[in-house]
A and B are shown apart, each in its own frame.
Chain A
Amino acid sequence: MNSGLVMYEEEFRLIAGICDRLTRDANAKVVFLVDKNGQLIASSGQAQNLDTTSLASLTAGNVAAMGGLAKLIGEKEFPNQFHEGERESLHMSIVAGRVVLVVIFDAKSSLGLVRLRVKKAGEELARVFEVLARKQATPGAQSPFAEITDDDIDNLFSE
């Protein structure tokens, strides 16, 4: 059960830095990074007006559905997806097999630029996730929940 994702301060800073840079380099409106299970990991750009929790869950749903479609036609998955809107478009890219890098952009950018920058950022992110995976696999990596008591859990429900 402990195969869930664990994010540490140091890696989070690296990831946030990569997302910030991608937002600038790709002229994007928003960049966010989502776990394939629907958890938001990081966001950058004009994300404050967006419901990022919903975005994360729907992104994961979409990637999962497209993955299902891919398998039906004999592909492993669709690592890159592009959805074109009237004003804003969305590019999704699977990184390190387990997270999804999403870029929202408008006419100030272009699909070509976004793809180019996403490729580079994706490679950088993959390296960070490799480090995270190693850290998590290290024996002695403790769950912060290892020391909570039954009372702590009960208190959560006491109101």
Chain B
Amino acid sequence: MSFINYSSREINCKIVYYGPGLCGKTTNLQYVYAKTNPDAKGKMISLATETERTLFFDFLPLSLGEIRGFKTRFHLYTVPGQVFYDASRKLILKGVDGVVFVADSQIERMEANLESLENLRVNLGEQGYDLDRLPYVIQYNKRDLPNVATVEELRRMLNPRIVPEFQAVAPTGVGVFDTLKAVAKLVLTELKKGG
């Protein structure tokens, strides 16, 4: 649910990073925050527990520049990954324009990935969204770790529809901006269609 403001000539979109606990959603945002020009970003907010696990959400506002005289702004949100924070996750999905699913590539997290992806579908459904119709990309994160599944395996399990997919190592930034650009493009393309 984008917000188009003719008065200030701005367009605002909401992108949500979803995924299982500790898959690197917050790390994605932190990298984007660290590498973005100060003029283009607002303050990053993290509502986290004392052990720095996301409790409610992280929020990062970004300006991408102008399209046809409209300032294009993206609001990036993460959800808490831990299973028991489902109520918060549902709230964050309200008004979403695009989704990034961050998968943990480690073999032992495969079950958690599947569970989270299913949870994403259900929670989107409750808000009246269909994941197959939303701008949506997948990131296979933690590619630097030793015990990771192959991309083919991950694709087979998590990406049967073959949406745009990216390999990433979020702490060093590998794949982080590629993922963001891909979802932002899909969101803008959707807005174009939505006229």
A positions within 8 Å CB-CB of B: 1-9, 12-13, 35-39, 41, 51, 53-54, 57-58, 61, 64-65, 67-68, 142-148, 150, 152-157
Contact = CB atoms under 8 A, between A and B. Distances in A.
B65 A156 contact: yes
Interface in B1-20: 1-8, 11-12, 14
23 contacts: A4-B95, A5-B1, A7-B6, A13-B7, A37-B3, A38-B14, A38-B95, A41-B3, A51-B42, A61-B47, A61-B56, A64-B91, A65-B56, A65-B88, A143-B194, A145-B11, A145-B188, A147-B195, A148-B188, A153-B185, A153-B189, A156-B67, A156-B188
Given A54-B45, A143-B192, A143-B194, A35 B3 contact: yes
Interface of B: 1-8, 11-12, 14, 42-43, 45, 47, 56-57, 59, 61, 64-65, 67-68, 70, 72, 75, 87-88, 90-92, 94-95, 97, 133, 181, 184-185, 188-195
Most chain-B Cβ atoms within 10 A of its Cβ — which of A5, A35, A38, A41? A38
Contact of A6 (B6, B65, B192): B6
A148 B45 contact: no
A153 B183 CA distance: 12
Contacts of B87: 68
B68 A147 contact: yes
B195 A38 contact: no
Contact of B192 (A13, A58, A148): A148
A75 B65 CA distance: 42
A54 B59 contact: yes
Contact of B190 (A1, A12, A38): A1
Contacts of B61: 53-54, 57
Nearest to B4: A6
A5 B5 CA distance: 8
| Interface pairs A-B: 9 shortest CB-CB | A146-B195, A37-B95, A143-B195, A12-B7, A4-B2, A64-B91, A2-B194, A39-B3, A4-B1
Given A9-B6, A53-B42, A61 B91 contact: yes
Contacts of A37: 1, 3, 14, 94-95
